[in-house]
């Protein structure tokens, strides 16, 4: 099938042909031009005043036409270049005129990332909500939705006191997250009611939103580092991010697609440990920070205070604003990350706990402490001061079996032997 020609191309070609026809017509009006241009001294030419006047008039007209012709040639050259350019676009588009480019606003309309606060019977939710509202840069881009999953009037009153600053929904349990089913958002950040957020938590989630959406090997972005206690994180590396095989929770972002996958089998309770089972995470990782962007202030929760007094109450909350949206985060892509991570871990010298505790090791590391069984992992973790529990074989904050932390200013990797291939779910 012949393609339809662009009107601009046809118009340009018509102008080019029409001008040349007119030019030829003008020149043909003077058949004596060639004779007039002969020398007056040659036979057959009179050389009188009348002849000279005719010759001058013809020459003036010819010169005028020539000058106009030269100028028009330059103009037609520009037209032909435009025709050629439009023809290339036409060909590349398969005969379809290219649509006008969208405006900058249409191209870069920012995604809305709602914050879903899970509440029940703690009036201290006020501390959580106050910090969220204080730090959020836009109520339109970060709407706060409080889902209260029990009937506790005092807590309801606290939530209601915020008026239009948030949306308050009441439901008996978490079997239906209406942020997706009712409000139709594409992703959400879940925040428990006993969490305080860091000043840059919204910047953090916004920067990692496209990373999460584009990488099928990821299933969440968490603001939490399980081993993020003061002294175990590098205060000079607030921008440092990791991949982790352990589901951290405590302020985490996930997508509507993931919820569609999990909703049919969502448990009535203990959903955080349920998320850590291989049937759920399916070898997908989360992103976590070096320094936590959330801080828990609730002693009693789904874990009934487990680890709180020993670990959680000492978690360091980030105070330095990091402009994550202006940073190159491509190093988090699985292939790049794995190559760099394994080189760093297994290129580090193997040392003992005693070596680290003696203070005789020079430099800031990294150093590697090796474990080979669940028992040896737990013993070494306790001695080094990091969390020692395993969920389906995965250590807290671990990636490929490796737990990274700081000890006395030195980077330490608590790692399995070279050649690690997969977790053993029987390790617990």
Helix (H/G/I), strand (E/B), else coil: 391: strand
Q: Is residue 296 part of a domain?
A: yes
Among the candidates 332, 361, 385, a domain finishes at 332
pTM of the predicted protein model: 0.74
List helix spans (H) across 161-197: 178-181
Cα separation, 325 vs 371, whole angstroms? 37
Cα separation, 277 vs 425, whole angstroms? 9
Cβ distance 209 to 111 under 8 Å?
Answer: yes
Among the candidates 294, 315, 332, a domain finishes at 332
Cα separation, 43 vs 222, whole angstroms? 103
303, 343: one domain: no
Cα separation, 404 vs 45, whole angstroms? 106
C-alpha dist (Å) from residue 343 to 60, 240, 418: 84, 17, 11
Cβ distance 351 to 371 under 8 Å?
Answer: no
206, 322: one domain: yes
61, 160: one domain: no
Helix (H/G/I), strand (E/B), else coil: 370: strand
Q: Which domain holds residue 354?
A: 337-428
- Quick one: pLDDT at residue 367? 98
Cα separation, 142 vs 164, whole angstroms? 13
Q: Is residue 1 part of a domain?
A: no
One digit per residue, the tens of pLDDT, for the chain of length 428 reads 434 444 444 455 555 555 554 554 444 454 443 433 333 333 333 334 334 444 344 444 434 544 554 555 455 455 444 444 443 433 343 443 334 444 333 356 899 999 999 999 999 999 999 999 999 999 999 999 999 988 899 999 999 999 999 999 987 555 556 677 667 799 999 999 999 999 999 999 999 999 999 999 999 999 999 999 999 999 999 999 999 999 999 999 999 999 999 999 999 888 999 999 999 999 999 999 999 999 999 766 544 455 677 788 899 999 999 999 999 999 999 999 999 999 999 999 999 999 999 988 999 999 999 999 999 999 999 999 999 999 999 999 999 999 999 999 999 999 999 999 999 999 98
222, 299: one domain: yes
- Quick one: pLDDT at residue 109? 84
- Quick one: pLDDT at residue 210? 97
Tell me the catalytic residues.
272
What φ, ψ does residue 68 adopt, rounded to 5°? -65, -40
Q: Is residue 97 part of a domain?
A: no
Long-range Cβ contact pairs of 89-98 (< 8 A, separation 24 or more) = 90/3, 90/6, 90/9, 94/3, 95/3, 95/4, 97/6
Print the SS3 string covering 274-328. Answer: HHCCHHHHCCCEEEEECCECEEECCCCCCCCCCCCCCCHHHECECCCCCCHHHCC
Q: Is residue 386 part of a domain?
A: yes
What φ, ψ does residue 314 adopt, rounded to 5°? -105, 5
Q: Is residue 107 part of a domain?
A: no
120, 69: one domain: no
Report DSSP state, residue 265. Answer: G
151, 74: one domain: no
280, 327: one domain: yes
Name the CA radius of gyration of the chain, rounded: 37
Among the candidates 292, 308, 332, a domain finishes at 332
193, 73: one domain: no
- Residue 128: give its domain's CATH number: 3.90.550.10
- Residue 347: give its domain's CATH number: 3.10.180.20
Instruction: Compute the residue count for the chain.
Output: 428
- In the chain, the number of structural domains is 3
386, 427: one domain: yes
Cα separation, 73 vs 16, whole angstroms? 9
At residue 132's C-alpha, the angle toward residues 128 and 137, to 5°, is 175
Q: Which residues pair with 242 in a beta bridge?
A: 288
Cα separation, 304 vs 214, whole angstroms? 36
Give the CA-trace dihedral at 87, 91, 93, 95, to 10 degrees: 90
121, 67: one domain: no
Cβ distance 267 to 383 under 8 Å?
Answer: no
Give the H/E segment covering residue 192. strand 187-192
127, 266: one domain: yes
- Quick one: pLDDT at residue 418? 95
- Quick one: pLDDT at residue 114? 97
Whose structure tokens read 């340009």? Answer: 12
261, 325: one domain: yes
């Amino acid at each position: 099938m012949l393609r339809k020609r662009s009107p601009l191309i046809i118009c340009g070609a018509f102008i080019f042909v029409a001008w040349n026809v007119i030019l030829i017509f003008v020149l043909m009006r003077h058949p004596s031009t060639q004779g007039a241009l002969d020398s007056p001294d040659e036979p057959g030419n009179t050389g009188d005043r009348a002849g000279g006047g005719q010759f001058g008039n013809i020459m003036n007209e010819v010169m005028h036409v020539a000058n106009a012709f030269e100028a028009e040639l330059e103009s037609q050259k520009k037209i032909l270049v435009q025709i050629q350019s439009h023809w290339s676009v036409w060909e590349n588009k398969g005969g379809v005129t290219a649509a006008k480019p969208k405006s900058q606003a249409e191209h870069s309309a920012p995604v809305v990332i709602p914050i879903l606060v899970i509440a029940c019977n703690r009036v201290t939710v006020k501390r959580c909500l106050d910090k969220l509202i204080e730090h959020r840069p836009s109520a339109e881009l970060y709407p706060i939705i409080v889902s209260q999953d029990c009937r506790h009037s005092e807590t309801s009153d606290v939530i209601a006191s915020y008026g239009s600053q948030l949306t308050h929904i009441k439901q008996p349990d978490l079997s239906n997250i209406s942020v997706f089913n009712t409000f139709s958002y594409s992703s959400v950040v879940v925040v428990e009611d006993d969490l305080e957020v860091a000043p840059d938590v919204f910047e953090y989630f916004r920067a990692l939103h496209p990373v999460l959406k584009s990488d099928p090997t990821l299933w969440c972005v968490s603001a939490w580092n399980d081993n993020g206690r003061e002294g175990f994180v590098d205060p000079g590396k607030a921008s440092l991010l990791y991949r982790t095989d352990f589901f951290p929770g405590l302020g985490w972002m996930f997508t509507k697609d993931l919820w569609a996958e999990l909703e049919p089998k969502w448990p009535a309770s203990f959903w955080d440990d349920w998320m850590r089972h291989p049937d759920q995470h399916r070898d997908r990782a989360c992103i976590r920070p070096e320094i936590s962007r959330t801080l828990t202030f609730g002693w009693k929760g789904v874990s009934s205070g487990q680890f709180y007094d020993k670990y959680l109450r000492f978690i360091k909350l980030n105070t330095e604003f990091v402009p994550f949206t202006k940073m190159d985060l491509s190093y988090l892509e699985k292939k790049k990350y794995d190559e760099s991570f394994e080189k760093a871990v297994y290129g580090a010298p193997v040392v003992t706990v005693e070596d680290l505790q003696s203070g005789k090791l020079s430099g800031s590391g990294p150093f590697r402490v090796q474990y080979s069984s669940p028992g040896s992992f737990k013993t070494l973790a306790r001695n080094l001061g990091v969390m020692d529990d395993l969920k389906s074989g995965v250590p807290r904050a671990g990636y490929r079996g490796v737990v990274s932390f700081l000890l006395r200013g030195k980077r330490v990797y608590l790692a399995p032997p070279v050649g690690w291939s997969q977790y053993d779910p029987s390790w617990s």
